[in-house]
Amino acid sequence: MTEWDEMDLLLGDAEEMSWQERALCAQTDPEAFFPEKGGSTREAKRVCLGCDVRSECLEYALEHDERFGIWGGLSERERRKLKKRAV
Q: Is 45 annotated as a binding residue?
A: no
Q: CB–CB of 32/47 below 8 Å?
A: yes
The verdict on whether residue 78 carries a ligand-binding annotation is: no
User: According to the annotation, is 79 in a ligand binding site?
Assistant: no
User: Does 48 appear as a known binding residue?
Assistant: yes
Bridge partner residues of 74 (DSSP): 71
CB-count exposure of residue 45 (10 Å: 0-12, 13-18, 19+): middle
Q: Which residues are annotated as a binding site?
A: 25, 48, 51, 57
Q: Which residues are annotated as a binding site for [4Fe-4S] cluster?
A: 25, 48, 51, 57
